[in-house]
Structure 1
């Protein structure tokens, strides 16, 4: 199968190497140092147990027109980075190309084949201009929820931390031939990729933690353990999660775990810095709108109050705006 991985970061690199080692024809669409490194040395994966794998047979390109139509496109960028490549993606679409979306948060396609009064609505916080719906038609999309953790430690080098689960699903909940085939290819590569009949419920389950712990950690410069064990921040996280749960319920979503169990799960991860906090410390644009702004938007859409989420959203957006204006980063340093 010809597979294009859009982005060779922490998740794209991990998935791409494993698929290539399973015998698939993998091309990474990348730029800069990653492009040069992959062309020279292939893509390297360091597993959590220290074993190393090099996919030497992968291709790397920054020219969408030259690689031709693909059977599968894995969109492994962060949600706010997708718009920058949207115009290029149609160049690698054939009649039956499937796009597997691996973004955290509420996806741009959320209301496609959703049914009910909101069918076909656009999620403006993640697709403000409608470009994504136009250039990446939801009819091509298979939803995917990313559970593994990994990190890009050097150009062309990814370290896997933990996890191997990538649930997938058709947007209308059917078990189609194409989603079954994708599940099988992922399974052959060593991943657990069950086909779900409600991919949106799984998206909300992961988002439930991301929309709370990510911005709180960024504002407080605290780890998951810190947030969960400090009574005031634990209470804030729970309040935000209750508001999000109310929004989700109005959209027909039922959570398969309790709120306390979800918080306990985050606490067990320990002194882990969320991806948003890592971005703040590195001076990168944080992923805010897909994780938090989208829930604010869906709260308005469903007429559900979200005062705690609104407040945290305003603060973390201001932090990102200030960082951008000052070309800065923010990291706690030991006091002198």
Structure 2
């Protein structure tokens, strides 16, 4: 099958390599050093899914219409990337592999003739250098659309992806996006401090801040009338109960997530963006909680603080010491 992957970062590189290994004809878009590296020596994938050396076609912009397109850019780059390639991908199936809440809606607006789906990936992968990705946690990807049961087209594309990477057809996909948003509260503090996700969760003070950001996200979701989707051993009943727990007891949630990560340092996608000197997608993670909180009339001071701190790190290039993070949190 002719498959295009837009974006050759950690997840884009992972999907490109695994789809090529499964026998698909894959074209990937990239820029700058990434494009040059892939053209010269392909993509080298290592870690959880095994070693793969794929040699996909690499372009700055797609020139031929694929049967399936995966959009694997950061959330803030999705609209421009989809628009740039709309002339050739509109009319084919499109899967947006992305954090945040808006990706599928953006694709649907820009590609009116396409079937648009969302994919939630919990694969942890580090973009080690242009053309090289290491998977630190191999995990399934969850594919779906809308708030209802899984439809036939979702099952069709789930079958295609499942040949390359474990893929689950996800009912109530919109609710699952909100559940994933809660999980993505793992990302901000590593980007602020420069520490791995595991190290942040192991620090009692930082873990408390992380738990507070997760609780706010759940409270906002409830305020917006969301029925959380079942995802990563989380679901609606459990998250609704979590929002009532004191922070001391609620810390079991990030601790359970940490146990599933193993011992290989998980940098988180937001920290990886910071270390590469790129803007992060924090406005689509913690920032999304703040925006949705305004609409729901739910205060979100912790997520507002974490969003602001990530932007400070982006601007200064310097990480914030954990003690200073805790001081800023205490001042709330």
Normalising by the smaller structure, the TM-score range is: 0.7 to 0.9
For the residue of structure 2 that corresponds to 1:11, the secondary structure is helix
**Aligned partners of 1:332 and 1:296: how far apart in 2?**
21
> What's the offset of the Cα at 1:72?
1.0
Of Structure 1 and Structure 2, which has the larger fraction of its residues in helix? 2
**Aligned partners of 2:24 and 2:212: how far apart in 1?**
45
> What's the offset of the Cα at 1:208?
1.1
**Aligned partners of 1:38 and 1:230: how far apart in 2?**
39
**Aligned partners of 1:215 and 1:313: how far apart in 2?**
7
> What's the offset of the Cα at 1:11?
0.8
**Aligned partners of 2:205 and 2:251: how far apart in 1?**
15
Aligned to 2:110: 135
Aligned to 2:70: 74
Matches within 5 A, 1:305-316: 305-316=299-310
**Aligned partners of 2:204 and 2:150: how far apart in 1?**
44
Gaps of 5+ in 2: 229-233, 243-249, 322-332
Classify 1:4/1:302 alpha carbon distance in 2 versus 1 (closer, same or farther; 3 Å).
same
**Aligned partners of 1:315 and 1:39: how far apart in 2?**
37
**Aligned partners of 2:113 and 2:142: how far apart in 1?**
18
User: How many pairs were matched up?
Assistant: 300
Aligned to 2:270: 276
> What's the offset of the Cα at 1:23?
1.6
**Aligned partners of 1:154 and 1:310: how far apart in 2?**
32
Classify 1:218/1:157 alpha carbon distance in 2 versus 1 (closer, same or farther; 3 Å).
closer
Matches within 5 A, 1:141-290: 141-189=116-164, 191-211=165-185, 213-250=186-223, 251-254=225-228, 255-256=234-235, 257=238, 258=242, 259-268=250-259, 269=261, 272-290=266-284
Aligned to 2:51: 52
For the residue of structure 1 that corresponds to 2:26, the secondary structure is strand
Aligned partners of 2:191 and 2:271 also within 8 Å: yes
Gaps of 5+ in 1: 113-126, 324-328
Aligned to 1:121: none
TM-score by length of 2: 0.80
**Aligned partners of 2:290 and 2:271: how far apart in 1?**
20
**Aligned partners of 2:37 and 2:124: how far apart in 1?**
22
Classify 1:218/1:138 alpha carbon distance in 2 versus 1 (closer, same or farther; 3 Å).
farther
Over aligned residues, Cα RMSD in angstroms? Answer: 2.6
Deviates more, 1:20-29 or 1:79-88: 79-88
**Aligned partners of 1:310 and 1:63: how far apart in 2?**
36
**Aligned partners of 1:6 and 1:22: how far apart in 2?**
18
TM-score by length of 1: 0.80
Aligned to 1:319: 313
Q: CA deviation digits over 1:258-309, x for unaligned, max 9? A: 5544211243345543332333333221221111111111111111121222
Aligned to 2:14: 14
> What's the offset of the Cα at 1:236?
1.9
Aligned to 1:124: none
For the residue of structure 2 that corresponds to 1:197, the secondary structure is coil
Aligned partners of 1:224 and 1:266 also within 8 Å: no
Aligned partners of 2:192 and 2:320 also within 8 Å: no
Aligned partners of 1:209 and 1:262 also within 8 Å: no
Q: CA deviation digits over 1:105-146, x for unaligned, max 9? A: 22244xx6xxxxxxxxxxxxxx7xxxx664245963211101
One of 280, 285, 302 as aligned partner of 1:291 = 285
